[in-house]
Structure 1
Amino acid sequence: MTNPADKYADEALRIDPVKMRSDADLVRGRFWDKLRASLSRLPFAQKLIAARYAATDPATPVRDKAVLLGALAYFIMPLDAIPDFVSLLGFTDDLGVLLLALRTASGAIRPEHHAKAREWLDGGPLATADPDEVARGRVIDHE
């Protein structure tokens, strides 16, 4: 005997190529803008992005660069003290590490880093480090 719910499940799982194409166009056209807009509402997003700019700035002192890069790497790592997928708590350890790093290296995060972060959050491109600076060993991270 078949379960009546199976009929509805089969209907729900049917792939509609027109809808799929429409969804793909929507994702291609608006995903990054939506993500950027969502990030801009996080209270620490600008500080986090400014820290990334400071960490890749050749003028940032090595000690501050190391602190910022360590905290940013911890933020990115999939495994940490409290896994990120844990509801509501997953990013608390990341936030704690980031806030401590931001406090420790606060003098290295200059107004131009905050301006670049704000520009990116407002829709500007994410600047990359100059490859020549990287080759000279003055920048640790680049894209």
Structure 2
Amino acid sequence: MDDVKIGEILLPGDEKTQKKQEEKVRSRFWPTFKKAARQIPFSRDLVAAYYCAMDRETPFRVRGILLAALGYFVLPIDVIPDVLAVVGFTDDIAVLTTAIALINRHIKERHYEAADTVLGDEELRA
């Protein structure tokens, strides 16, 4: 991650950029999450962040930061390839942890409730 600064990854972008990120995140989040769930110690926060990013009531800048971080998470190619088992998601975890720390007050109880509902689904955990 030395060459890529987390702050550069987390730029909220303009409306067009956010729309593209949202489409990418919507289509790739759940398959990527299923692969990574056992390796990410903060799965509940990650899923709540997803719901926060998809919530139209979330401020534009906050949505942009979350979509950028989630977009990085779902990219098949990043700084450390995700196919490298546990090590592959360390850069993703760093980006996601930073994003969630920056915007955590915007993740509402309803986002956590949605996360709890999904995480309770045994198919997702399989």
Same fold by TM (over 0.5)? yes
Q: Aligned runs of 1:52-131 on 2, under 5 Å?
A: 52-123=50-121
**1:107, distance to aligned residue in structure 2 (A):** 1.3
Give the structure 1 partner of residue 48 of structure 2.
Answer: 50
Unaligned ranges ≥5, structure 2: 1-33
Change (3 A) 1:87 1:123: closer
Identity of aligned residues (%): 39
Equivalenced residues, count: 91
**1:108, distance to aligned residue in structure 2 (A):** 1.1
Code of the aligned partner of 1:64: V
Code of the aligned partner of 2:41: P
Structure (1 or 2) with the greater helix fraction: 2
Change (3 A) 1:40 1:87: closer
Judge conservation of contact 2:53–2:62 (CA < 8 Å) in 1. Answer: yes
Code of the aligned partner of 1:48: L
Unaligned ranges ≥5, structure 1: 1-34, 125-143
Residues 27-76 of structure 1 show CA distances to partners (whole Å, capped at 9, x for unaligned) of: xxxxxxxx5xx947952111111001000101100110000000000000
Instruction: Give the TM-score taking structure 2 as reference length.
Output: 0.64
Change (3 A) 1:40 1:91: closer
Judge conservation of contact 2:39–2:86 (CA < 8 Å) in 1. Answer: no
Instruction: Give the TM-score taking structure 1 as reference length.
Output: 0.57
Structure 1 runs (4+) greater than 4 angstroms displaced: none
Which one scores higher on RCO, CA 8 angstroms, separation ≥ 6?
2
Q: Aligned runs of 1:16-27 on 2, under 5 Å?
A: none
